Amino acid sequence: MISEPLIVIAICIVLYAVCSERLSNSFVSAPMVFMFAGLLAGPAAFGFFDLSIDSHVLEGFGELTLGFILFADAAATNSRRLAMDYALPRRLLLVGLPLTIALGAGVAFFMFPDLSWMEAALIAAILAPTDAALGYAVVTSKAVPARIRQAILVESGVNDGLALPAVLLFAALAFSAEAGETQGAGYWIGFTIKQIAIGAVVGVILGGGLGKLIHEADGRGWIAHSFRNLSCVGVAILTLLGAHLVDGNGFIAAFVGGLAFGSFCKKRSGALTEFVEEEGQLFSLVIFFLFGAVLLPDATEHFTFFCVFYAVLSLTVIRMAPIAASLIGSGVKPPTMAFIGWFGPRGLASILFLFIAVEHQEMEALSQIEAIVYITVALSVIVHGISAAPLSRMYGAGAAAKADGATAS
C-alpha cells in the first residue's frame, strides 16, 4: 500500500522541520535524512513497506521537479549582476563541463574494461551535472561571497540542460552499437545544437512574455492573492513542457525562462522562490526518499570496489581537476578553485538522466552503470551534506573569499 511510505515521509517532514533551523548550519542535510529514512524503512532494512516504482512515473515526477527548481533558481538570480559578471559561470560551463565528461569517460573506460567507450562516456555525462540543493548551505550562506554563490548556482542550473544532449548522444551510440546500427556525427551535432537553441528561445519567449503579462496584470490588481504563486508555477511548467513540444531542451528552457521571468517580473520571482523552498523542496526530498528505499538497495548487489572507487574519483579528481583547469587565468585563488570544484554534488539530475538514457532500451552493462551512478549519488548526499555548512564558514572567513568575491574577471 502507498499509505505506509507516505506516513514515513510525513514523519520525516515533521521531525526534520522542528529541528530544521538548528540543522541548517550542521552536518545533517535534509536530503541525507530522507535518503537514510527510505533506506531504513524500506524492504532493505526494517521492511515497514514493500514499494515498487514505475520508472516512467518517477522520471516524469523527477523531470517536473528539476525543471521547476531550475526555473525558480534562475528567477531568483540577479540577472543584471550576472550580465556584468558572467566570466566564472562561462568558464565552468564551456570549459569545465566538457573536461569533466572527457576525464570521467577516460577513467571509466580504463577502470571498467567490460564497458565500451560509449558506455564509459554515458556514465561520465550522467554524472557531470551538479545539484545545488545538496549543497544548499553553500548557495544560501552569507559567509560565501555572492559572486561565488552565483557561479555555483548558475553552473548547477545550466549544466543540466547542457549535459542532457550528451547523455542522449552517448546512450543512442551505445544502443546503436549493440544493435549494429550507427548514426552519423553530423546528425548528433545538429541534434545537440537544436536542443539547446530551441530550448533557449522557448525560455525567452515564454518566461519573458508571460512574466511581463503577470507583472502588468499584478500591477493593475487583476490577480487574486491566492493565484499569485500559482501563476508563477504555471509559467515554470509551460517553459519546461513547451520546449518538449517543439523538440527543445526543457531544462535549458526552464533555466533561461526563469532568468527572463525574473527580469520582467521581479516582484513575483521572490514569491516563486519562497514557494520552491517549501513545496518544491518537498518534491525533491520525496525522490531522495524513494532513492533510498528502492533504487539504491536494488543496485547494491552490483556494487564492487571499483564502483565505489570510481564514485570517490568522480566527486574529487574527475570534478575538481577540470574545474581548476577551467578557472586558470580567471584571477581566482586556489582556495576558491578548490571550493567551487568540491561543491559539485551529484543528485536529482543524475538519477533522472539515468532513467532518460535507458527509457526505451536495454543495455548489457545497465546494472553496472546503475551501480556506479547510484553509489556516486549516495556518497554525494552524505559527504556534501556533511561538509556544506562548515566548509562554507571556513572558506568565507579566508582571504581568498574576500579577494575573489570582490574581483570581477
Report the candidate in 290, 286, 295 with the shortest Cα–Cα distance to residue 371. 295
Collapsing DSSP to helix, strand or coil, 250 comes out as: helix
| pTM summary value | 0.86
Q: How far, in Å, CA of 282 to CA of 30, rounded?
A: 10
Cell for 135? 549543497
Q: How far, in Å, CA of 396 to CA of 398, rounded?
A: 6
Contact yes or no for 367/302 (Cβ under 8 A) = yes
At 85, give phi and psi (nearest 5°): -135, 75
> DSSP of 30-66, one letter per residue?
HHHHHHHHHHHHSTTTT-S------HHHHHHHHHHHH
Highest mean pLDDT among 20-29, 176-185, 222-231, 298-307: 298-307
Cell for 21? 533551523
Predicted confidence (pLDDT) per residue in 6-25, tens digit = 899 999 999 998 988 888 77
As a whole-number percent, the residues of the chain with pLDDT over 90 amount to 41
Predicted confidence (pLDDT) per residue in 172-202, tens digit = 777 765 555 555 556 666 777 888 889 999 9
406 falls within a domain? no
409 falls within a domain? no
Of the two residues 358 and 404, the one the predictor is more confident about is: 404
407 falls within a domain? no
267 falls within a domain? yes
Contact yes or no for 24/389 (Cβ under 8 A) = yes
CA distances from 260 to 255, 256, 271 (A): 9, 6, 16
Residue 226 has pLDDT above 80, yes or no: no
Query: What pLDDT sits at residue 21?
Result: 83
If one counts the domains in the chain, the total is: 1
Query: What pLDDT sits at residue 361?
Result: 55
Q: How far, in Å, CA of 398 to CA of 145, rounded?
A: 11
Report the candidate in 385, 309, 303 with the shortest Cα–Cα distance to residue 342. 385
Return the DSSP state at 245: H
408 falls within a domain? no
248 falls within a domain? yes
As a dihedral over the C-alpha atoms of residue 41, residue 44, residue 48, residue 53, rounded to 10 degrees, the angle is 90
**In this structure, what CATH number is given to the domain that contains residue 193?**
1.20.1530.20
106 falls within a domain? yes
b/e per residue 163-189 (b: at least 16 CB within 10 A): bbbbbbbbbbbbbeebeeeeeeeeebe
Residue 320 has pLDDT above 90, yes or no: yes
Contact yes or no for 145/405 (Cβ under 8 A) = yes
Mean pLDDT of the chain, nearest integer:
85
**In terms of residue numbers, what domain contains 233?**
3-20+27-401
User: Which residue pairs, CB below 8 angstroms and at least 24 apart, start in 33-37?
Assistant: 34/9, 34/285, 34/286, 34/288, 34/289, 34/292, 35/288, 35/289, 35/291, 35/292, 35/296, 35/378, 35/381, 36/292, 37/8, 37/9, 37/12, 37/289, 37/292
Task: Give me the amino acid identity at 84.
Answer: M
358 falls within a domain? yes
